[in-house]
Amino acid sequence: MSSASTKQLGLGFRDRRDAGAALGKALLKRRDWQDPVVLALPRGGVPVGAEVARELEAPLDVLVVRKIGHPGHEEFAIGAMASGGVMVMNTGSDALLGNVPRAEIDRIVERERLELHRREALYRGDRAAVPVHGREVILVDDGLATGATMRAAVQAVRQLQPSHVTVAVPVGARESCDALEAVADDVVCIRTPEPFHAVGSWYSDFPQTSDDEVRSLLATADRRVPH
C-alpha cells in the first residue's frame, strides 16, 4: 500500500509535524504530566518531538541512538547503541550474522560510535543536556519497526534516573510496541497497522530530516521554554 493510499484511508499522517501534533494530544489525554521532558531520537524523531513538546509545554532535547546494521544489509538492524555506552543486540542476531567475521562487526560498531559522538556535539553544541533526574521522560521517534533503537534509548535514559519513562510514537509494528512495555513504564503507539510495512509507508510526506533542521528545532524549543 502506498503512502498516499494510507493517508486516503485515514491510516497515515501528512508529515512528521502532523504526527507529532496528534501524538502530543494523545499524550495529554494519557496522564496528568508533572514536569515532563521530551527526548527525541535524531533525526526523524526530532520534528515529531518538537510538536509533542509544544503540546505539553515541555523542554525538548535529543537522545542520540545509532542503529547497528547487518554487514551485508545495513538497513536491517541487528542492534543499536545510545548515549551512555549502552548497546543492545536484537534477539537472534548471532544466528543472523552467521559466519560474518567479528572484525567486520567491530568495524561497524566503532563507526556508529564515532557517528554518535559527532551528532551529540553537532546537535547540542555547547548547550547543556536537559536534566532528566527525577522527571517524567517521554522518548519520541517517528515510528517503530524492530524497536531495537528505542530499546537502547530506554536503557540509556534509565541510567539518568528519571521518575517515569514513556515511549511515544505515532505509528509502530504492534509486536515492537508490545515488546517495549517490558522495559518502559508506558508505551503510546497511536497506530499499529497490520501488516506494518516500513515506517515511511504511513506518511504522505517523509523526507530525510537534516542536521540543520534538528539544530533549528532544538534552538526554537530552547527559546520557548522559560529558564
Each residue's pLDDT tens digit, 70-102: 887 776 777 888 887 778 777 666 666 667 788
Confidence of residue 159 (pLDDT cuts 50, 70, 90): confident
Q: Is 153 part of a structural domain of the chain?
A: yes
Which pLDDT band, with edges at 50, 70 and 90, does 3 fall under?
very low
pLDDT, position 6: 43
* Res 127 pLDDT > 90: no
Distance of CA 188 to the CA centre of its chain: 12
Q: Does residue 34 register a pLDDT over 90?
A: yes
Distance separating alpha carbons of residues 34 and 6, to the nearest angstrom: 35
Q: Is 159 contained in some domain?
A: yes
- Residue 90 within a domain: no
Pairing of strands 65-70, 73-82: antiparallel
Counting the structural domains of the chain, the total is 1
Residue 145 domain-assigned? yes
Q: What digits encode the pLDDT tens for the residues 191-227?
A: 999 999 899 999 999 999 999 999 999 999 877 665 5
Going across the sheet that includes 73-82, the strands are 65-70, 73-82, 86-89
- Asked if residue 137 is part of any domain, the answer here is yes
Is residue 86 situated within a structural domain?
A: no
**Of 32 and 126, more confident:** 32
Q: What pLDDT shows up at residue 104? A: 86
Kindly state the percentage of the chain with pLDDT values over 90.
61
Range of the domain at 161: 3-63+129-224
Cell, residue 184: 518502559
Residue 152 forms part of a structural domain: yes
CATH of the domain at 24: 3.40.50.2020
Whose grid coordinates read 542503529?
67
Has residue 36 been placed in a domain? yes
